[in-house]
Amino acid sequence: MIPGLKHVDTTSLELASPPPSSTQASTVYDRLREDLLSGRLEPSRKLQMRFLTELYQTGQTPLREALNRLTADGLVECREQRGFYVADISRSELAELTKTRCWVESLALRESMAASTPQWEEQLLLAQHRLGRTPRSLNAEHFEDNPEWERLHRVYHRTLIGNCGSQSLIAFCGQLADQLYRYRRLSIRKAFPSRHVTDEHQAIMTAVLSGDADHAVDLLTAHYRQTAEVILQDKQIFSELHEGEDAAS
Amino acid sequence: MIPGLKHVDTTSLELASPPPSSTQASTVYDRLREDLLSGRLEPSRKLQMRFLTELYQTGQTPLREALNRLTADGLVECREQRGFYVADISRSELAELTKTRCWVESLALRESMAASTPQWEEQLLLAQHRLGRTPRSLNAEHFEDNPEWERLHRVYHRTLIGNCGSQSLIAFCGQLADQLYRYRRLSIRKAFPSRHVTDEHQAIMTAVLSGDADHAVDLLTAHYRQTAEVILQDKQIFSELHEGEDAAS
DNA sequence: CACAACAAAAATTTATAGATTTTTATGAAA
DNA sequence: TTTCATAAAAATCTATAAATTTTTGTTGTG
């Protein structure tokens, strides 16, 4: 055998076969997270190990790891010795998450603006531009979720607060965004036909670039509050059975 | 045999035998967390499975679970396929955490005060009173950490922001508090001999009870900034080897 | 001195065994 | 007959141990 050649072969193979080359737990985490956010795994559903191992074709250990991470993200609930459940939803939690997001992102936006740089302003301009050029729905007739729009939407809001100078604060905002994103996707009327979200995004950006922090914060919080309002109207996504005991977990 | 009696016996036994009656993963989590916060497990140390299983006398599964939770808490770092490490520390991270804590807790305190109730004010009064009556050090001669004081200190700060009406915000503040607590305990000069922290706590409470939000926020942020300042002075806790590359992870 | 092949260590994953909880069925009392 | 309590069974979560894969350190060769 030829030693030199053999090693080269192996190397090239290694580089080709594991494309993202990440651990299995991370792969399951990503897939599970997507299924949670999309609502394919409905709220308060029990997440049985056996079911999940068969669904994702993996072992228990990577699954437990993924479920633990998702618990920290607030998308999964872990009851001691009783297994995992998809995090429940409620009107009160939606209201609380929205309130918190408004508070915290207002803060982060103000700090971002206070530390503004030309580079950041250009990033924001770009993010807004790209988002505006991307169709909200894949289908012109009926609404069909466009993953690329969702990604760019995420990037846009991330950019708004991204200049605040605190990784932990940005991460916290990301968590809140994820949890609220699930409510959005769960809500049937995702299209928001009456709203012009693109205009809202543009208006926020304009206020930011003009240096008017108060106005920018007002527009941003109004943006979030309106989204929550629309979802709160949705009669279907909140199980009407226990309407009274709507308290957050 | 007497059916009725037997059942009572079993019940009482069950209630007695598992005192904390929690899962093993939680037990390991608590112990590991304490060792992390106290600094017994020093920053950037590698956390080998074998070492930990022997140290805590447990299996790998509960350990992985605990480590994953602690990663979410920011006390442990998880490098993909390279194992777990104790989260590193740096001056820049300390500064960033402090800055973030000041921002977020100012927000939370204002909201707490805006939603003030007699019950909450009484809670705060009690928390302050108990903290003030507890000695900072177990030993009058040299400083010796008093766990009860630390616990009450935690409760006090938790109470300050606890009326803000957002569980997620409170939890985030708790995370920041934990991470900063580790810096405090890592710092050799824990005693802070020149400071009168009890007076500071009292002053904050007085401002809160008098309804002066601006003043309360000023005192609280000054409190945190001074603590950070003292730790930043500490030459020993930051490894001087790589002073230039002091960036946060 | 650099690079590749080998060997050792460590992390991740699979598989198996042990506990705990929930369900179901049986029997006694109202 | 209905209801409650008990006991057994089933299901499921938790933990241990073994196997696989990946990474890291060492040695030998060009």
User: Nucleotides on strand D with an atom closer than 7 A to protein CB?
Assistant: 5-7, 12-18, 22-24
Is residue B247 pLDDT above 70, yes or no?
A: no
Q: B99 and B207 share a domain? A: yes
Q: Do residues A135 and A161 both lie within one domain?
A: yes
* Count of domains forming chain A: 2
Note whether A172 contacts B: Cβ–Cβ < 8 A. yes
Chain A residue numbers with beta carbons less than 8 Å from the beta carbon of B176 are 168
Residues spanned by the domain of B166 = 91-233
Residue B176 has pLDDT above 60, yes or no: yes
The predicted pLDDT at position B193 comes to 59
**Chain B nearest C-alpha distance from A135 (Å):** 33
Name which residue leads in pLDDT, B137 or B119.
B119
Task: State pLDDT tens for residues A96-131.
Answer: 999 999 999 999 999 999 999 999 999 999 999 999
Whether residues B72 and B104 fall in one domain: no
Per the model's pLDDT, the better-predicted residue between B25 and B224 turns out to be B224
Q: Are residues A100 and A79 in the same domain?
A: no
Give yes or no: residues B99 and B75 share one domain.
no
Q: Which of A82, A17, A94 is nearest to A46 (CA)?
A: A82
Residue A13 contacts B where some CB pair is shorter than 8 Å: no
pLDDT in tens, A196-225: 889 999 999 999 999 999 999 999 999 999
pLDDT reading at B130 higher than 90:
yes
> Do B71 and B55 sit in the same domain of this protein?
yes
Q: Above 50 in pLDDT, residue A17?
A: no
Whether A34 is in a domain gets the answer yes
- Give the per-residue pLDDT at A244: 40
Residues A98 and A81 in one domain: no
A186 and A156 part of one domain:
yes
Region A85-89: what's the mean pLDDT?
92
Measured CA B85 to C1' D22 distance, in angstroms: 18
Query: Does the CB of B67 fall within 7 Å of any strand D atom?
Result: no
pLDDT tens column, B12-39: 323 333 334 467 888 889 888 999 999 9
Q: Decide if pLDDT at A12 tops 50.
A: no
User: Which tens digits make up the pLDDT trace of B36-58?
Assistant: 999 999 899 989 888 888 888 88
CATH number of the domain residue A173 falls in: 1.20.120.530
- pLDDT tens for B133-167 read 999 888 888 888 889 999 999 999 999 999 999 99
pLDDT band at A168 (very low <50, low <70, confident <90, very high): very high
Residues 92-121 of B with CB under 8 A from A: 96-97, 99-100, 103-104, 107, 111
B112 and B173 inside one domain: yes
Task: Pick B64 or A176 by higher pLDDT.
Answer: A176
Q: Do B100 and A64 touch (CB under 8 A)?
A: no
Using 50, 70 and 90 to split pLDDT, how confident is the model at B207? very high
Residue B120 lies in a domain: yes
Q: What's the Å distance between residue B65 CA and nucleotide C4 C1'?
A: 39
Q: Does A69 fall in a domain?
A: yes
Share the mean pLDDT of chain A.
85
Residues A59 and A153 in one domain: no
Q: Which protein residue lies nearest to nucleotide D24, measured between its Cα and the C1' atom?
A: B82
- At residue B249, the pLDDT reads 35
Residue of B nearest to A107 (CA): B103
Instruction: Provide the pLDDT for residue A243.
Output: 40
Chain A residues closer than 8 Å to B64 by CB: 61, 64-65
pLDDT at A5: 33
Integer CA distances (angstroms), A134 to A102, A127, A128, A150, A188, in order: 26, 11, 10, 10, 21
From B68, B103, B104, residue closest to A68, measured CB to CB:
B68
Above 90 in pLDDT, residue B206?
yes
Kindly determine whether the C-beta of residue B24 is less than 7 Å away from any atom of nucleic acid strand D.
yes
In a domain, residue A192? The reply is: yes
**B243 in a structural domain:** no
Nucleotide D17, nearest residue via CA and C1': B59
